[in-house]
Structure formats: structure tokens, C-alpha cells
Amino acid sequence: MKDLSLFSPDILNPDTSFPDKANNGVGFYRHIHFHRMHDGFLVGKSSRPSILRVAQEHAQEQDYNVSVEYIRSAFLVQEWEMPVDNNGTKKETLRLDLVARSYDTYKDADVLIFNTGNWWTHEKTSEGKGYYQEGDHVHEKLDVIEAFDRAMSTWARWVEANVNPSKTHVFFRGYTFSHFSKGEWNSGGQCDSKEPIKDDKDLLSLDELSPPIPQMIDNSLRKVKSPVSYLNVTKMTNYRHDAHPSSYRKPNTTEEEKRDFQTHQDCSHWCLPGVPDTWNQLLFAQLLLSHKQRQWNQSKNVHV
């Protein structure tokens, strides 16, 4: 019989879920959540320092024995430089067959959270012309959908070969919408809305996305053999065209910066209060559910 208490509202109460807080990081969660340090984080569970999310930024809370690291790896696979002549000239490529160099450092973390998608655009991948590399071979032309699938397969093989699912909880956070209107990020696109979208008919259509990144992610994750929790926040972010930095990209702007930010708005990243807060709470709930499930399984085994 399924333990329905797993789905009680108390699951979001750290005091009832983790009564022993010395090494589980719940107090640190409260602290870091209050200060909103980064758009992606969470806490570990064991007596050793735990690492969450796969960067070049690091936060540690010694009182709770928790370490949080953010590593920027926009494609999950390695950005590379390929020699093109004997004069030292190189060209940028993307190694579809190699994961990011830092991954092995974090394979024993308590929690790993991966994300990619928003950079897999035709503009940022040179439209697939002479950009994707496997081994010594640079593809003259490769469709972004095929390239993405190969990169995700490389990532999945690394997870399957290196991550112990009984020790490490792997998450994949899904695609988040951009909301440029009257142009794109490089052509004067804007997002000046002050309220969320309230009617589904006004949402951006997945069919309008080129390439169809959410579908690409869904198709790739179905092939992963190791346990991966899919944090699907795509539709949730579709409603929030009001939650981007827009022209308010930094405090204390000069008049020149104000004019520049008005014509070069940020409609793809997120203000920390709001959307990232929400997906972090969903992530936290999933970790608590997993913890409860382990407790239930352990108690069941004891009484067998």
C-alpha cells in the first residue's frame, strides 16, 4: 500500500521533514533562500560536504556542512578550439562527444542539477556550419536537432557510467521561455509587461519555437537509462512574460545605460524573486519526497 503521507502538505515543512538539521542543510536552505544567492541551488544530506548543481561560483555554509557550486556549461558538452592552419589560427567548435571538463569533480555529489537548451539556437551554433565536432571530424553541416541529441547522449552515457543513483540524485531542469516581442535579443526585442499571462490562449506556442527545444529535451530524456528527475518548468515559465529583467538590468544606471537597456532588453534571464524561487521550491519538495520515500522503504525493510 502506498504511503499517502508522502504527499501531505507537511512535506514542505523542513522541521517535520528533517528534524535533525545539523548535516542535512535545511537551515542552510532557509538562509540561502532568504538571501536568494543564485537562481539554482539546494542542499545536501550527508555528513560530508555535498555539492549541488553543475561553475565557477561557490557558496559554503560550514554550520550546516553544505557546499553549493554553480558551473557554467551552456551546452553540457565541451566548447572547443580546432587548429585550422600552422600559424596558430583556431576556430571554435562544439565537441558533441565530450562532456564538460569539470564533470568528474562532481560525480560524487549528493545532488546534481543539469540544464541546457536555451543556447541551442541557430545563431549561437553558427547555424550548424563547421561548428559541431566529433573526434577530429568537424561536420560541414549538422542539423541542431541531431546535434542536440548526440550531445545529450554523450551526457547520458557519462551519468550512466559515473553517477551512483543510490547516492546521488540527478535532476534535469527543463527549458524556460524567453519573451521577446517586436524583435529578438539582438534586434530591439522587448518585454515590458507588468502582469503574468492569465489566459492559455495568449501563451507562446511550442510549435513556434525554432528549434523545438522542449521537444528535443523530452525526446532525449526518454532515452536516458539512469534515474533522472525531470524538473519540467517550461509551461510555468510561459506565463511569466513579466518576470524578466527587461530594461532593469542593474541598479544605479546612468542616463546612457538607461537608453541602451531600453533598446537592448533582457527577456530571457529571470529576476530571482518569482520564477527561480518557484522552481527551487519544486526542487526542494522533490528532495523531501525522495527523503520520505527512503525513510518509508527503510522502515518497510526493517519490519519484513
Strand order in the sheet with 229-231: 111-114, 169-173, 229-231
How many other C-beta atoms are found inside a 10 Å radius of the C-beta of residue 299? 10
Q: What is the mean pLDDT of residues 276-282?
A: 92
Q: Which residues pair with 80 in a beta bridge?
A: 93
Examine residue 35 and state whether it is found in any structural domain, yes or no: no
- Tally of domains within the chain: 1
pLDDT band of 16, cuts 50, 70, 90: low
The residue with greater pLDDT, 159 or 67, is 159
Examine residue 140 and state whether it is found in any structural domain, yes or no: yes
Is the pLDDT confidence value at 174 over 50?
Answer: yes
Examine residue 171 and state whether it is found in any structural domain, yes or no: yes
pLDDT band of 212, cuts 50, 70, 90: very high
Q: Which domain, by its residues, includes 253? A: 40-293
For the chain, give the mean pLDDT.
Answer: 81
pLDDT at 25: 45
3-state secondary structure at position 166: coil
Give the N- to C-terminal CA distance of the chain in Å, as an integer.
14
Examine residue 19 and state whether it is found in any structural domain, yes or no: no
pLDDT at 188: 84
pLDDT at 169: 93
Sign of the Cα torsion 1, 285, 243, 214 reads negative
Q: How far is Cα 114 from Cα 97, in angstroms, rounded to an integer?
A: 17
CA distances from residue 237 to 30, 167, 177, 200, 242 in whole angstroms, order as listed: 24, 31, 6, 12, 10
Q: Which residues pair with 93 in a beta bridge?
A: 80
* pLDDT tens digit sequence for 176-210: 999 999 888 778 899 989 999 999 999 999 988 88
Cell of 152: 545529450
Amino acid at the residue 291:
H
pLDDT at 56: 58
pLDDT band of 90, cuts 50, 70, 90: confident
User: Residue 208 burial by CB count (10 A; 0-12/13-18/19+): exposed, middle or buried?
Assistant: exposed
Examine residue 220 and state whether it is found in any structural domain, yes or no: yes
Q: What is the mean pLDDT of residues 82-96?
A: 86
Q: How far is Cα 270 from Cα 245, in angstroms, rounded to an integer?
A: 6
pLDDT band of 133, cuts 50, 70, 90: very high
Q: How far is Cα 115 from Cα 213, in angstroms, rounded to an integer?
A: 12
pLDDT band of 227, cuts 50, 70, 90: very high
Examine residue 189 and state whether it is found in any structural domain, yes or no: yes
Q: How far is Cα 120 from Cα 74, in angstroms, rounded to an integer?
A: 9
Is the pLDDT confidence value at 140 over 90?
Answer: yes
pLDDT at 49: 36
Q: How far is Cα 98 from Cα 210, in angstroms, rounded to an integer?
A: 25
Q: What is the mean pLDDT of residues 137-160?
A: 96
Q: How far is Cα 264 from Cα 189, in angstroms, rounded to an integer?
A: 7
Q: What is the mean pLDDT of residues 18-26?
A: 48
Please state the pTM of the whole predicted model. Answer: 0.79
pLDDT at 302: 64
Is the pLDDT confidence value at 8 over 80?
Answer: no
Examine residue 6 and state whether it is found in any structural domain, yes or no: no
Is the pLDDT confidence value at 20 over 70?
Answer: no
Examine residue 60 and state whether it is found in any structural domain, yes or no: yes
- Beta pairing class for 229-231 and 169-173: parallel
pLDDT at 142: 96
pLDDT at 86: 78
